[in-house]
Amino acid sequence: MGWLKRSAAHTKKETTPTGPLPANAGDMPVEGGLSESAAGVEAVVRTPSPVPILQPNRNESAVLEPILTVSGVERSFQVGGQQLHVLKGIDMELQPNRLVMLRGRSGSGKTTLLNMIGGLDQPNRGEIFFLGHPFHQWNDDKRTQVRRKRIGFIFQSFALMPLLSAWENVELALRMAGVPRSEWKPRVQHCLELVGLSKRMHHRPFELSGGEQQRVAIAKAIAHRPTLLLADEPTAELDSQMGAQVMAVFREIIDTEQVTICMTTHDPTILEVADHVYQMVDGKFITT
Ligand SMILES: Nc1ncnc2c1ncn2[C@@H]1O[C@H](COP(=O)(O)OP(=O)(O)OP(=O)(O)O)[C@@H](O)[C@H]1O
């Protein structure tokens, strides 16, 4: 299941934390070949914001502070008059330029945690700092400002606009991020080349394979140059070959776009691609 089912616009069940929230607590995702990557093109997101957006120093990733720290995070939901404890004390860190996977059975709490990391939801207890910003304390408006500039989302079901071409889908993401129109063309072209779709730029989703659609979704998610990319089961609807292509694209964009990717998966065959795997069982991480 993904954010689409219970983001701000799509509440699945009950989304109000049942425990104490901070007083101010409160949007939100290879034919052609991977070798077609192009050099980076600067795209500056200019959405006005009173919240200072901290940037990691991209040249010193080996010695950098984590971009995200999660400490003692708990999350419960009120379901049928009972408390459902979904996250039971999560501690984790995301370092810059890494591919991190959350692995676990259905219902173990992976999506719930991803929603917290992305600022779509808040914990009942614990702390979440993203680039130094206290997501556990901030209201939805402040989290949204940071999210729009610094976080990209990828969904299991691709979440593309069906009547728009690949090019137009990526362009739409830049428009929504407030990137000046003059920067759209080179950035769209770069992102679609990066995911190996230079020969499919003007196809609409129904004219593309599942793997190609997911690569359009990746281009769309990285267009505004996020620091963190969150992907909820991005390979779940793909066969193993297309899934491998998506993972190869992830590795490529970590290097070329300087992004950290945190993704959930059930698929044991792709775990070896990860820099780090968190194994989740019943709302906690276990060491394997
Ligand atoms: N808003 C909500 N209200 C009530 N219960 C919820 C809510 N969101 C999630 N849950 C419950 O929390 C538990 C964990 O759900 P979650 O989607 O995080 O698991 P998951 O590990 O991502 O599963 P899957 O791999 O199937 O997507 C489930 O029992 C789910 O029904």
Give pLDDT tens digits for 80-93: 999 999 999 999 99
What per-residue confidence (pLDDT) applies to 233?
92
Q: What is the pLDDT of residues 258-268, one digit of tens each?
A: 999 999 998 88
In a domain, 223, yes or no: yes
Report the interhelical angle of 240-257 vs 184-194 (nearest 10°). Answer: 130
In a domain, 48, yes or no: no
Is the pLDDT at 48 greater than 50, yes or no?
Answer: no
- Report the percentage of the chain scoring pLDDT > 90: 67
In a domain, 155, yes or no: yes
Cα 86 to ligand 1 centre (Å)? 7
Does residue 37 or residue 185 have the better pLDDT?
A: 185
pTM for the whole structure: 0.80
Write the Ramachandran bin of 81: left for phi over 0, alpha for psi from -120 to 50, otherwise beta: left
In a domain, 52, yes or no: no
Q: Provide the domain count of the chain.
A: 1
The verdict on the CB of residue 77 being under 6 Å from ligand 1 is: yes
Distance CA 54, CA 29 (A): 22
Average pLDDT, rounded, for the chain: 81
Q: Best substitution site from 16, 76, 87, 112 to test ligand 1's pocket, by max atoms within 8 Å of Cβ?
A: 112
* CA-closest candidate to residue 173, choices 162, 158, 184, 189: 184
Could you give the dihedral angle defined by the CA atoms of residues 259, 264, 270 and 271, in that order, rounded to the nearest 10 degrees? 90
In a domain, 170, yes or no: yes
In a domain, 50, yes or no: no
* CA-closest candidate to residue 84, choices 107, 102, 113, 111: 107
User: Residue 137 belongs to what domain range?
Assistant: 3-37+66-286
Q: Is 85 exposed, middle or buried (0-12, 13-18, 19+ CB in 10 A)?
A: middle
**CATH number of the structural domain spanning residue 152:** 3.40.50.300
Q: Is 127 exposed, middle or buried (0-12, 13-18, 19+ CB in 10 A)?
A: middle
Mean pLDDT, residues 249-265 taken together? 94
What per-residue confidence (pLDDT) applies to 52?
52
The verdict on the CB of residue 182 being under 6 Å from ligand 1 is: no
In a domain, 259, yes or no: yes
Is the pLDDT at 121 greater than 80, yes or no?
Answer: yes
